[in-house]
Amino acid sequence: MTMTTAGPLLEHLARRLAETPPDMLAAPAVGNTAGVETGAVVGDVLRILGLLNPQTKWLESLHPAKADKKELNTLRVMLIASWLLADPWFRGKANPAAAQNWLYGNSIAEMAALANAEAFVKDDERREELVRLCLKALDFTPQGESEAQAQDRLESISSVERKRMIEASRHVQEEARKRRAIEEERARKVREEMERKAAEEAAAKGTRE
């Protein structure tokens, strides 16, 4: 999906994240442990946006029987993202199915794997990243930016993109290391073969003499 429609001021949504209420930052409900019902919050937001029948099984999965630290952080980031989507600007403008796809997809989990949920409230760059990813998923550009400008800025601050670049660099370095090892092994075998032939020639010469 390309970003083609003028959206809200980025600063407006970033400020909304900075003012995320404590209830949305509380621990999610897991198993028999009381907490924020992530599925209920997400479902309510999607219905506010106009999605009459959010995916029931997915919403139910947001109250897992158990969750490790990584999974809990993902649920917390999803709650923050839901608070962002609940901004009045999106009502009547955002595609609710696209909003569900964004929350349901890998984007939230990828971000949550790289930063604690609080960072998307307290850290300027992480707030901007979350806002920009949300707008991109809903086919909006921040007000006053072209599609190219929005994409360039997102790529420059994206923690996920940064991780991919680091992993790509590591892969290139590892491949180069493997090639060097193969070349060194080949050179070693050539040297050994040359030394063997030289030894055989020397032995043959000694026998003749």
- Do 76 and 117 reside in the same domain of the chain? yes
My answer on whether 75 and 92 are in the same domain is yes
Q: Which of the two residues, 78 and 203, has the higher pLDDT score?
A: 78
**Does 104 lie in the same domain as 9?**
yes
Are 176 and 84 contained in the same domain?
Answer: no
Residues 61 and 130 in one domain: yes
Two tokens, residue 82: 């839901």
Number of domains observed in the structure of the chain: 2
pLDDT band of 195, cuts 50, 70, 90: confident
Residue 13 has pLDDT above 80, yes or no: yes
The answer on 207 and 167 residing in a single domain is: yes
For the stretch 84-135, pLDDT in tens is 999 999 999 999 999 999 999 888 999 899 899 999 999 999 999 999 999 9
Domain ranges, residue 116: 5-157
Q: Do 121 and 205 sit in the same domain of this protein?
A: no
User: Do 82 and 135 fall within a single domain?
Assistant: yes
Q: Answer yes or no: do 135 and 193 share one domain.
A: no
Question: pLDDT category, 41, cuts 50, 70, 90?
Answer: very high
CA 99 to CA 92: how far, in whole Å? 13
Whether residues 24 and 102 fall in one domain = yes
Tokens standing for residue 37: 């019902």
Q: Which stretch of DSSP H or E encloses residue 108?
A: helix 107-112
User: pTM of the predicted model, to two decimals?
Assistant: 0.74
Same domain, 46 and 138: yes
